Structure 1
């Protein structure tokens, strides 16, 4: 049997393996998938996890449960030597070791792009993994609990201040959902006022949501500002040391919660630790049929790539040389096409090019608020939010996850969202070791 190694279990990797299991005959190939996490995260639901509209575990699709004929290895590929058809795997436990393969599929995804800004490494939380979304939610809820015990003043204001850096889809959706959650929480905290909430969205460009046209983008800015938020365009974060925010415009304030969503960067494994060709951005170069290779040159045998770590020609775009944007819509469909092409290649058939015309874009701006755009058609408000939920209900993989998410949404109609903070799960031994004494209080009762 041919040995297929899939590097990464995100959208593209999961869907490649899932579709290969449905396409390949038994005994036709042996598939191994390597990823440090045992699940695929459905990232479009992360903003709703931060707001408590979706249960955290429901956005994580178990690799072992749904990939029944694939060997799942808990670890990371740290080097790909395609000339030797060998990958170096670093397992969660034990030393690095080589894994030989006949065919490699590189779907390692992208990483969060960061900059050397003082305080970012110490204060900011990203938004690529479900653990980050849970931490953001718990930090906001805990901040409300702490603020409710303080008198009005600077410290209470700081606890009720949230900053999101990055005006792409993830940043705007997280910002809108957190703003909606914070506004709803005020009903449970009568001692806190709406005028004490301080929400800031910081974007270096002159507009937000680059995937939509100009007017819908301006509408989103107006909508957020009408809800009491501050949207800083053409503005950069210059410092966040100690939670003290300094913007390039000169504005300064203190924030309790800082969320960083300022774009993607090339995965360093692909950019620096492989002999496969990459472009100037560090992305894997692939042909339209998802075989690895430099444009205009023959494809490299037995190497495939897709997803956010690959520069895939966008044949649906009228612009020459266009590449597909790094989003879930493309990654899912590229994974499916890659699996079909790989199976065809094993059987001596010609692979087909990847072509996908956009189905439009949807974004949530908080419970009951959203935006949808398909070409010149723009729908905003409640109907846009319904279309957002409908699209992602269809897109989230497996019927099991669809049903679980739908049940949570249905229960929220009758009981509202859950507002319990479980921040102590990040320090699970604290109650056991402290004997019930709060950590700020000594055994003698002195602070």
Structure 2
């Protein structure tokens, strides 16, 4: 149990992590900017921005550019602009799902310089890990690649992110894989491993729809259904670190077979995997390989397929309505692979809004995530390790 003073200290350290990343994200997407601009855009006091910027300059993440005078003929003090440092330390981000493992090399501001991928499919964990480390070594051996300081890994499943152990990833068929330990051994640098839903939730907190929210629920809807929780402006992991892992909780009355070997799991009834009966030709295909327009036209003519998709959306929406009533969040954020399919994502948002009881109207807003499928969320997992004061602060304390 944390003492109150320890809990307060940890909350402040997590808040500092999020503020640092928001500064970097804003400069990466809208820079260069002056300190005053950062304070105004982020709604933070100027002394706080001064402290954050000083730390980010000291660790090499940001640089000051040449002074610039405000306006022609201005006699005021020159404004010093800030930007991301192109020579910042490098990190590796590894994003694994049931189809592929994507490996990216990025700087400490999140800018990707090199990337490659390897299939996962029916391959065992050892084979995939060998391919990942081979790709990572190749990316860093490129003349312009540079060595990475840390690695961040995202994988769908039940993950002990304090040790990097993948307890179970049914999407890949992996159990008790010491993913962090094995990659760290092969590459010789620290590795952090996080469940994909938790990583998406952190990305939403830093740079997504939840960056201004105190409370939010993230529905990670793809090959499975995961729930991310944001409470008091920070991701919430629960007492043992796996809050929101609802994929293999049994649904009353369901007999749908699940990939875990049991029947009636949430994932079997509510994920996009559950929708594949409406489009069996997409089984095993990557998103890039699916002809979306042809699939849309075919399903529009097939009433049975429409009913399958509609039932899945309806079940997810009812689950979201229950979670909303329990937590009373400001936002429900529809995220994951589903946002790549406009009709599905819009349909889910509309159905959640439709199910909201009259007394809950205007209390919670449902939105689509603006963080795309290929966003380097694994890089954010890696970046947590670069500040020794906050490394591990998102982990649930013992």
- TM-score category by the smaller chain? under 0.3
State TM-score, norm by structure 2.
Answer: 0.27
Which protein has greater RCO, CA pairs closer than 8 Å, 6+ apart? Answer: 1
Bigger Rg over Cα? 1
- Structure number having the greater helix percentage: 2
